[in-house]
Amino acid sequence: MPHIVAQPYNYELPNNLSHVALVIIDMQKDFLEPGGFGDILGNDVSLLQAIIPTVKQQQKTFSSHGIRIIQTKEGHRPDLYDCPPSKRKRGKGNLTIGDPGPMGRILVLGEPGNEIVEPLAPLARELVIAKPGKGAFYNTKLNRVLRSHKITHLIFTGVTTEVCVQSTLREANDRGYECLLVEDATESYFPEFKQATLEMVRAQGGIVGWTATAEQVLSGLETAISNN
Ligand code: TIU
């Protein structure tokens, strides 16, 4: 059986890798660069930049094997119709969602700061899902897209581990997807929150999923492909 060596035990892959997708969550300037949403909430955004090469490696490898890739972006319509007032109040800083910042309006779709960082710019066959919430299933077409392509296995990367990544992974798990979180291709502004998330995902026999290193994911994929 093709598999990825993972915790708490091996993550079985389907024989046909067309049922697998790489999900890259919110690798946007708004979270990774100064002047964006992450920054105005008071976070040190430099921490998140370190995973770009690891995510890039996953993107390149999945893409070279023709495995589907879905990227998400957290952002709101320019009229903020899809942004609950409760979300705009958060942070209590000088700026909030929709205000003009150095990279355009904060967390607004189409603004420069809302774009995915250049090294991870979506490749030709990638789908980009804009999402108004933390979880990527809330108020988006993600589930419909995955079902229509018969995708059953989701490999998660991106930021931040305990907010948008974990929310999406939990939403996916409840919908029956087999979820694996790539340990060194996800990051948080709070290292202890990342560590706790990895542990809570794989606890209790994989209560919401599996975790594996980027290297383990690539090695599992290469073996599955070469044995096919
Ligand atoms: N603030 C924080 O850690 N994250 C978010 O607001 N969104 C995502 O995680 N993408």
**pLDDT tens sequence across 136-162:** 999 999 999 999 999 999 999 999 999
Mutate to test the pocket of ligand 1, among 33, 37, 129 (most ligand atoms within 8 A of CB): 37
Q: What is the pTM of this model?
A: 0.98
Q: How far is CA 44 from the centre of its chain?
A: 19
Q: How does residue 96 score in pLDDT terms, banded at 50, 70 and 90?
A: very high
Q: Is the pLDDT of residue 126 over 90?
A: yes
Mean per-residue pLDDT over the chain, rounded: 97
Q: How does residue 109 score in pLDDT terms, banded at 50, 70 and 90?
A: very high
Instruction: Give the separation between CA 42 and CA 118, rounded to whole angstroms.
Output: 23
Pick the atom of ligand 1 nearest to 25's CA: 10
Supply the pLDDT for residue 91: 85
Q: Is the CB of 30 under 6 A from ligand 1?
A: no
Q: How does residue 228 score in pLDDT terms, banded at 50, 70 and 90?
A: confident
- Separation of CA 224 and ligand 1 centre (Å): 33
- E-only strand ranges, the chain: 3-4, 11-12, 20-25, 68-74, 100-101, 104-105, 127-131, 153-159, 178-187, 210-212
Mutate to test the pocket of ligand 1, among 74, 165, 186 (most ligand atoms within 8 A of CB): 74
Q: Is the CB of 159 under 6 A from ligand 1?
A: yes
